[in-house]
Structure 1
Amino acid sequence: MPAFIVVLSLLFLWSLVSRRLARWSITAPIAFVVAGIVLTRGPHPAVPFDLDAHSFEVAVEIVLAVMLFMDATEARDYERLGRSVGEGRLLGIALPASVALATVLGALVFPGTSWWLLAVAALVVMPVDLAPIAGFLRDARVPLRVRAALNIEGGFNDGLISPLFLFCVANLATAHGSTFAELLWSVVKGALLAVVIGSLLGAGAAWLVRRARDDGWARPAALRTASLVLPFLAYAVATTAGGNGFVAAFVTGLWYATTAHAIAGDNLGLVHEVSELMALAVWFTLGKVATDAFADGVSARVVLYGLLALTVARLAPVMASLTGTDLPRTERWAVAWLGSRGVTSIVFALLAYIQLPPDESDFIVQVMCTTVLLSVALHGITQEPVARWFARAPQSAT
């Protein structure tokens, strides 16, 4: 209960000073991770925080499901651009190339480590999650093409990576439970179930909401509540049926997006605000996870790998894949650099932590914490200077 009170108090205080801190490039993830580290560290922490791995896993999975739902609706909203922003290249070329490069770099930094474990590490740290730079995506100074490319990539990449991630974890876990074939079939079946459930739920909800709006059965505020319920419902139904809750939430958002944006008023505003609040609680908890993961220190090789994952493994594939598009070089650099890491990496690392032996799971958690914390700092601090640069270059801000 003390931890719950502290998190709620921090949320309230953050809402009062968020604009002021943003001017100093102090983002919400930075503030909440630092608070989590400071308040939960040591044998006698200021805020006692007993972290149950399973409960935390479920909590952050729900947060990710809500965020994926929002990503899906926002990705559909960018269709008004009427042209590609390089999303096909980012997802079809840069994403697999980044994962492959991160795996190879891992082999160089951690010689003798299993290739399957290195692949899991790469799949944990490479998915783009835009929570650390959420304000950047709503900044009118930034060209819409840049925001669209990042948001569409962030919305789709974790859904594409999820089956491959589970595939690699299955190879490491086959000696500790089900056979590889059984685990692989479970992954495929879960994804297919999620697509069916998400499609039925999203299309059905869209039809019902349109009828309620057109026939005057519901108030706008009530429809906002209906939108908020959908990602939670999609996750709950899919996981209960043995499906992938992430995929179900995302597919639901894709089907529901057109209806949501057609309704007068900010129909998705409530979902967005709730997802932000939930994500901030996860960032605070990450501070506790990092404190435990680094109790005996962190090796220079882990830090080096985190930096390589954020720079070489991200920049080279993205810049190469976007070469030849109509995005100016400065916009390509912005997309390449601001591929921040966040809740997606946390969730994947926790899934690996639960399924893998202690030594392997501890390695994955250390790599995740290092990479995400570096991303929170580097991307959080640089997003405002990047936005200011675009403001001084209005010819690019289209």
Structure 2
Amino acid sequence: MIFVAAGLLLSPEGLDFVSVSSNSTLILNIAELALILTLFSDASKIELQALLSEEKLPGRLLIIGMPLTIAFGAIVAALFLKDITLAEAGLIGAMLSPTDAGLGQAILNNTKVPAKIRQTLNVESGLNDGGAIPFFLFFLILTRGEALKWPVGTLIVLAFEQIGIGMLVGAVIGLAGGWLSTKAVRVGWMSGLYRKIGFMSLAIISWLVADLIGGSGFIAAFTAGLITQAGGKIKTAEEEIILTEAEGNILSCAVFFIFGITVSARIFTISWPIFIYSVLSLTLIRMLPVAISLIGIKLHSETVLFLGWFGPRGLASVVLLLTAMEETGGIGGNETLSLAVITTVFLSVFVQGATADPGSEWYSRIVAKLPTDSPERKKVGESSISSYDVDVKNSLNNSEDR
């Protein structure tokens, strides 16, 4: 919220201190690197077995909820935004499906909120950006192919090539690089800061190699992160992840600052259909799939509402939009597409960011009144992401004490 506001204030439309172009290759590279590091670090903190545990809440949101969110988002976009194609509607749905845990830190840090619910939101936000990218690539290639009149078969082959090559590169680099890094640490060839740098380099290498041979760098980085965690003896340590995540967070702040500058130049061009779509994207388009995915879990309606509302849009949506603009150029409904994503993220940053703290307090009071045997209050172990976050805070506190 602060960095977006700073971008608005210092933009040419504000105090005119800073001027940047969202079409700059440098800006795109910074944004992509921020997402690459975030995808890699988030994936490397997830234990895949935990994803399907604890009554499968995160798995339901990812496997059922996210595809439904993309489908609902595409359908509503096609109905409300008249000057876009079906492929572009699908692209909007895919770009606005990933959630950003950064805006909901007040929830994740509030121990009054049941561990199961915090864990669910944390794991979902850690994995759904990677899960949305295959859909994004598919609709992006369809959008380009429609303009260039490519055969449908060719488009499908290209989409699967990018996804498949990206997964293969990520798997190879994650497995081999993780093993080599672990071996180097064990024999004393690498320690301290270089261990952290070595881990972060796996994300960047997988991104560059996949992009070089025609695969998706985003898919490669996400897969590499998963493999380093799931590779048996290759166990990712907290001290290795912390630098990668910190660098990703720093670059994310830069992206939100640039986003604020971009919004300032376009905020007065937002039409009512786009504004209404953005409101629906943050409410019904997210809440209905969440409710459907949780059928049978016997959660209370307030819990379903809480999980549905706190799906803020942020870094992933912004970076995917920049990538789409770079790839599609002046195709079709680009202006409508970009305004829909910009408006939704802008509203999400301030509305959902501002309601995170009071919302978590409201929900904690609701939960306190529920019976002790209710699903929400069932004791669970924290997921790898949650326990990692606690470890990071303890490490930072210890560093400050020293």
So what's the TM-score if we normalise by structure 1?
A: 0.82
> Residues 306-385 of structure 1 correspond to what in structure 2 (within 5 A)?
306-325=278-297, 327-354=299-326, 355-357=328-330, 360-385=333-358
1:307/1:233 CA distance change after superposition, 3 Å: same
Give the 3-state SS of the residue equivalent to 2:190 in structure 1.
Answer: coil
Please say if residues 31 and 319 of structure 2, whose CA atoms lie closer than 8 Å, have aligned partners that are also in contact: yes
1:237/1:114 CA distance change after superposition, 3 Å: closer
1:122 to 84, 93, 96: 93
Match of 1:281 in 2: 254
1:113/1:258 CA distance change after superposition, 3 Å: closer
1:89/1:110 CA distance change after superposition, 3 Å: same
Match of 1:97 in 2: 68
Please say if residues 83 and 336 of structure 2, whose CA atoms lie closer than 8 Å, have aligned partners that are also in contact: no
Please say if residues 286 and 309 of structure 2, whose CA atoms lie closer than 8 Å, have aligned partners that are also in contact: yes
> Residues 17-56 of structure 1 correspond to what in structure 2 (within 5 A)?
30-42=1-13, 45-56=16-27
Deviating beyond 6 angstroms after TM superposition, the runs of 4 or more aligned structure 1 residues are none
Q: Please, which moves more after superposition, 237-246 or 126-135?
A: 126-135
Render the CA deviation track for 1:45-89: whole Å, top value 9, x for unaligned. 122334443332222111111111122123228829953432332
- Offset of residue 366 of structure 1: 0.6
> Residues 175-186 of structure 1 correspond to what in structure 2 (within 5 A)?
176-177=147-148, 179-180=150-151, 181-186=153-158
- Offset of residue 133 of structure 1: 2.4
Match of 1:302 in 2: 274
Render the CA deviation track for 1:14-43: whole Å, top value 9, x for unaligned. xxxxxxxxxxxxxxxx11111101111329
Please say if residues 70 and 253 of structure 1, whose CA atoms lie closer than 8 Å, have aligned partners that are also in contact: yes
Q: Please, which moves more after superposition, 160-169 or 79-88?
A: 79-88
Render the CA deviation track for 1:135-185: whole Å, top value 9, x for unaligned. 543544433322332233333333333233333233332254472444432
2 CA distance for matches of 1:80 and 1:353? Answer: 33
Give the 3-state SS of the residue equivalent to 2:43 in structure 1.
Answer: helix
1:387 to 348, 356, 360: 360
Give the 3-state SS of the residue equivalent to 2:54 in structure 1.
Answer: coil
1:331/1:220 CA distance change after superposition, 3 Å: farther
- Offset of residue 326 of structure 1: 5.7
> Residues 251-262 of structure 1 correspond to what in structure 2 (within 5 A)?
251-257=223-229, 262=235
Give the 3-state SS of the residue equivalent to 1:41 in structure 2.
Answer: coil
Match of 2:37 in 1: 66
1 CA distance for matches of 2:224 and 2:192? Answer: 20
- Offset of residue 329 of structure 1: 4.3
1:337/1:245 CA distance change after superposition, 3 Å: same
Please say if residues 13 and 265 of structure 2, whose CA atoms lie closer than 8 Å, have aligned partners that are also in contact: no
- Offset of residue 258 of structure 1: 5.3
Please say if residues 106 and 360 of structure 2, whose CA atoms lie closer than 8 Å, have aligned partners that are also in contact: no
> How many pairs are equivalent?
368
Structure 1: segments with no counterpart, 5+ residues:
1-29
2 CA distance for matches of 1:178 and 1:130? Answer: 39
- Offset of residue 374 of structure 1: 0.8
1 CA distance for matches of 2:208 and 2:105? Answer: 26
Instruction: Tell me which amino acid in the other structure corresponds to 1:226.
Output: G
1:199/1:326 CA distance change after superposition, 3 Å: farther
Match of 1:204 in 2: 176
Q: Please, which moves more after superposition, 282-291 or 207-216?
A: 207-216
1 CA distance for matches of 2:106 and 2:240? Answer: 19
Structure 2: segments with no counterpart, 5+ residues:
380-402
> Residues 199-238 of structure 1 correspond to what in structure 2 (within 5 A)?
199-238=171-210
1:156/1:265 CA distance change after superposition, 3 Å: closer
**Does residue 291 of the first structure (1) align with residue 259 of the second (2)?**
no
Match of 1:23 in 2: none
Please say if residues 318 and 341 of structure 2, whose CA atoms lie closer than 8 Å, have aligned partners that are also in contact: yes
Give the 3-state SS of the residue equivalent to 1:161 in structure 2.
Answer: helix
Q: Please, which moves more after superposition, 257-266 or 55-64?
A: 257-266
**Does residue 155 of the first structure (1) align with residue 122 of the second (2)?**
no
1:38/1:359 CA distance change after superposition, 3 Å: farther
2 CA distance for matches of 1:358 and 1:191? Answer: 23
- Offset of residue 337 of structure 1: 1.3
1:277/1:209 CA distance change after superposition, 3 Å: same
1:123/1:81 CA distance change after superposition, 3 Å: closer
Percent identity over the alignment? 26
Instruction: Tell me which amino acid in the other structure corresponds to 1:325.
Output: I
